[in-house]
Structure 1
Amino acid sequence: MSDSAPSVPVNCRPRACGSARLGGESTVTERRRFLALGISSLVIASLSLTACGTRASSAPGDAGAKKVVKIGVIAPLSGGLSSMGTGIQNSVDLAVKQANASNALAGWTIQIDAQDDQASPDVGKNAATKLAGDKDVVAVVGPLNSSVGQAIQPILDPSKIPLVSPANTNPTLTRGAEASTNPKRTYTSYFRTCTTDAIQGPFAAQYLLNAGIKKVATVHDKKAYGQGLVTEFTKAFTAGGGTIVAAETVNPDDKDFAAVIAKIKPTAPQALYYGGEHPVSSLLTKQMKDAGLKIPLMGGDGMYDPAYITNGGSATAGDLVTSVGAPAESLPSAQQFVSDYKAAGYSSGYSTYGLYAYDAANAIINALKVSLPTASDATSARAATVDALGKVNFQGASGNVSFDEFGDNRTRVLTVYKVENGAWVANTTDEVK
């Protein structure tokens, strides 16, 4: 149902009517009667416009009227990570269109409100504030970056707006500052469909150890995601008998890594483990190999994007990433999503987190099936939606979706991908128990 009111033509303006001739010279009485009719028409038109402008008509017998509920999206829709962010937005859009087409929420129409966070915590705060102030917003999918997640949790939680991230992997977002030693859920409205760095870091460490690599240099970009990933990797790698020969940091907007490479090269690492996203790591791997340090660079899911290979060129050959879930082609449920996504005609791909954004949206929609029937409006359904999300259990595009007591997805599947012949190729997939 469109929110815009239909146009009501008013063909006779007061000035034109005042000069009309009806079979000759108009009398004063005729003029007054005609003007009265014109004014009456304008009043009726005004009332019609007012009625059509309401969000959901409650007139008796209007069985087709539906209330509007919105699912917000917060993701980077511009900048270096826009391919990932747009994939998130499109995948949520697909889930919403399918739900509306099947009348999944009787009496309600779902809309999405996508906000560009530019991968910036400050911009993300503004986006969250805007969505929290919209009475029709019942839940939000996103964000991509853990640092943005940290920034927007305190804004959405007081309004009881559930936030379901397809991509945040920092463990502290669900388990608090002492995630590994004394886990405590800080925000009960926060959930995620992806796995965490507490699993991803050790998974990468074990892969390198199994490959006979015992000496590794680490670099991270000082952001929540990158720092957390390197922390978890380091703990597992050293516990398994490996040695971190150098530990360096860079800034997220750095372009020249000569100084960092000069520090790392004399330590003779067998691999470099990077915590951060592909715009930086693609430059780092190229400059590292141009400087004669021809070792594989390994990172997390923030690197798993075709843009890494495009930007890094031939220098990326042999590089590695871990990414959440199994390859889409290995899951029948994912294949259906891929087919539906292509059929929808989006101009860009679903990217790294499309499956998880689709599942996040469907988790919300499943929760709304419980919370909306007794709600008078979207705002009154928020708290009940949070409660219902904690109980969802369904087969999603990425696998089974259900949340533990912290809001983390119970399914913990990871895959190592390797750059071969200019493409990411699945190397090994496993579920971490």
Structure 2
Amino acid sequence: MRHRSVLIITTAVTAGALTLSACGSRDDNKAGDGGNTTVVIGLDAPLTGDLSALGQGIKNSADLAVKTANKNKEVEGITFKLESLDDVANASTGQQNATKFVGNEDVIGVVGPLNSDVGQSMQKVFADADLAEISPANTNPELTQGKDWKDGKKVRPFKTYFRTSTTDAIQGPYAAQYMYNKKKLKKVFVIDDKKTYGAGLAGTFADEFKKLGGKVVGTDHINPDDKDFSAVATKVKNAGADFVYYGGEYPAGAPLSAQIKKAGAKIPTVGGDALYSPEYVKLGKANAEGDIASSVGAPLETIDSAKDFIKNYKSAGYKDGFDAYGGYAYDSTWAIIQAVKAVAEANDGKLPEDIDDARKKVTEAVQDVKFSGVTGEVGFDEFGDTTNKQLSLYEVKDGKHTPVQSGEYQAS
């Protein structure tokens, strides 16, 4: 049997700081010794690189959840610690990070990642170790519902994988309905970056748009690492599209939109939650005006349960904003904390000493977690998907993403 190496908070406090000492076994942490068991929540996100604004928002929000839990003594006798790893939005790096988390016997659950292809690379690593993974941002349906989900054959691939964001199965169609029914635009040029997230999102958008009666007047793919999109911009202009739908992320989406407009197609670019970032507007500048992005959930400022999060995040003095997924990262972290709490309460106030048993029981407890979170009511269905199906659309107006519609997707 493998036993968790625990950290004991000693009673010695010097210069206002707590001293930590490693003590080998949970058996050493007896009631009344003045110490807490410290357990680790892992965090994986792109903390550097083009998507670091989103990644840092995820990290900071998870950090705030951990600090809040410790301050309020959310789980008696347990102190939480966040350990973060940078995946640089790269699937192979994410898989390596997953292996590192599994190998650290203090890690009881993991929050992240941002990118669906990274999440896909991590799933089996965590599943083999019974280690719960909760993503605040992965939206590709295949991760929870299997590769045949489009055919109605939904099979959950990994019982250790969960997410607090809703999926592209409804995000793409939700935007399609808005563009066709509300904006009255009937012709679209669809572009994607060939990644798991981008291609999947563009596909669900196009399927719904055609179902409504819209016409896809052209399709193309881009390499998001390129800087020159003039060739595809010319194709868009010549196709006579009313708007562009881009399945991809803001580092390529913003310059793509700008170059399409500069080519003479003065039409909006529409995309998913990976375009919903202040960075998109910074990169696109004036050319971003009128562009539209969908995102999971309702605008945080409209949710009563998010008010404390917004206030506390600001008070904490984080350098970066919480961005699109901060609320979901907080709720993902809190879900792990609540699962730990449930397991400890059922086990005489402590986690099982055997790490395999502890991780398995925490994963099982995550499945049953329910609470009012930053993003609304938090819970997971039989696939590990969030039970919160709220979506929103934002249009860039006067240099800022402004909410234009929020609600639940209704099948046409």
TM-score, length basis structure 2: 0.91
Alignment check: 8 A CA contact 2:189 2:218 kept: yes
Aligned to 2:167: 196
Among 265, 273, 276, the residue aligned to 2:248: 276
Among 56, 62, 71, the residue aligned to 1:101: 71
- State the AA in 1 paired with 2:72: S
Whether 1:419 and 2:396 are equivalent positions in the alignment is yes
Alignment check: 8 A CA contact 1:167 1:356 kept: yes
Aligned to 2:154: 183
Alignment check: 8 A CA contact 2:62 2:329 kept: yes
Among 270, 278, 284, the residue aligned to 1:306: 278
Alignment check: 8 A CA contact 1:135 1:379 kept: no
State the Cα distance separating 1:414 from its structure 2 match.
Answer: 0.7
Aligned structure 1 segments of 4 or more residues deviating by more than 3 angstroms: 1-7, 59-62
Distance 1:61 1:366 in 2: 22
Aligned to 2:102: 132
Distance 1:52 1:350 in 2: 33
Cα distance change on mapping 1:4 and 1:252 into 2, 3 Å: farther
Structure whose CA Rg is larger: 1
In structure 1, the gaps of 5 or more residues are: 8-48
State the Cα distance separating 1:264 from its structure 2 match.
Answer: 2.3
Whether 1:72 and 2:42 are equivalent positions in the alignment is yes
Alignment check: 8 A CA contact 2:10 2:35 kept: no
Whether 1:361 and 2:327 are equivalent positions in the alignment is no
Distance 2:393 2:86 in 1: 30
Alignment check: 8 A CA contact 2:29 2:36 kept: no
Distance 1:378 1:310 in 2: 45
Alignment check: 8 A CA contact 2:149 2:155 kept: yes
Distance 2:71 2:324 in 1: 26
Q: Secondary structure at the match of 1:247?
A: strand
Deviations 1:92-127 (A, max 9, x none): 111111111121222221111100000000111111
Alignment check: 8 A CA contact 1:115 1:127 kept: yes
Deviations 1:312-357 (A, max 9, x none): 1100110000011111111111111101111112111111000000
- State the AA in 1 paired with 2:408: E
Highest RCO, 1 vs 2 (Cα 8 Å, sep ≥ 6): 2
- State the AA in 1 paired with 2:298: A
Cα distance change on mapping 1:294 and 1:126 into 2, 3 Å: same
Q: Secondary structure at the match of 1:372?
A: helix
Which aligned pairs between 1:125-274 and structure 2 lie closer than 5 A?
Answer: 125-181=95-151, 182-210=153-181, 211-274=183-246
Among 265, 280, 289, the residue aligned to 1:317: 289
State the Cα distance separating 1:89 from its structure 2 match.
Answer: 0.6
Whether 1:345 and 2:302 are equivalent positions in the alignment is no
Alignment check: 8 A CA contact 1:57 1:65 kept: no
Q: Secondary structure at the match of 2:28?
A: coil
Distance 2:77 2:184 in 1: 59
Q: Secondary structure at the match of 2:149?
A: coil
- State the AA in 1 paired with 2:269: L
Alignment check: 8 A CA contact 1:4 1:53 kept: no
State the Cα distance separating 1:392 from its structure 2 match.
Answer: 1.0
Distance 2:8 2:304 in 1: 36
Distance 2:76 2:301 in 1: 34
State the Cα distance separating 1:432 from its structure 2 match.
Answer: 2.6
- State the AA in 2 paired with 1:172: E
Distance 2:202 2:38 in 1: 43
Distance 1:68 1:358 in 2: 19
Q: Secondary structure at the match of 2:384?
A: coil
- Give the number of equivalent residue pairs: 391
Aligned to 1:40: none
Deviations 1:363-393 (A, max 9, x none): 1111111223421255431111111111111
Distance 2:21 2:398 in 1: 58
Alignment check: 8 A CA contact 2:8 2:37 kept: no
State the Cα distance separating 1:262 from its structure 2 match.
Answer: 2.0
Q: Secondary structure at the match of 1:113?
A: strand
Alignment check: 8 A CA contact 1:71 1:111 kept: yes
State the Cα distance separating 1:3 from its structure 2 match.
Answer: 7.2
Cα distance change on mapping 1:272 and 1:5 into 2, 3 Å: same
Distance 1:109 1:215 in 2: 55
Aligned to 1:24: none
Aligned to 2:387: 410
Distance 1:345 1:70 in 2: 23
Distance 1:367 1:303 in 2: 32
Distance 1:264 1:136 in 2: 52
State the Cα distance separating 1:5 from its structure 2 match.
Answer: 12
Distance 1:371 1:59 in 2: 17
Distance 2:97 2:357 in 1: 21
Identity of aligned residues (%): 43
Cα distance change on mapping 1:4 and 1:257 into 2, 3 Å: farther
Among 371, 378, 384, the residue aligned to 1:394: 371
In structure 2, the gaps of 5 or more residues are: 1-6, 14-18
Distance 2:360 2:344 in 1: 11
Tell which deviates more after alignment, 53-62 or 199-208. 53-62
Deviations 1:123-169 (A, max 9, x none): 11111110010011011000000000110001111000011000000
Over the aligned positions, Cα root-mean-square deviation in angstroms equals 2.0
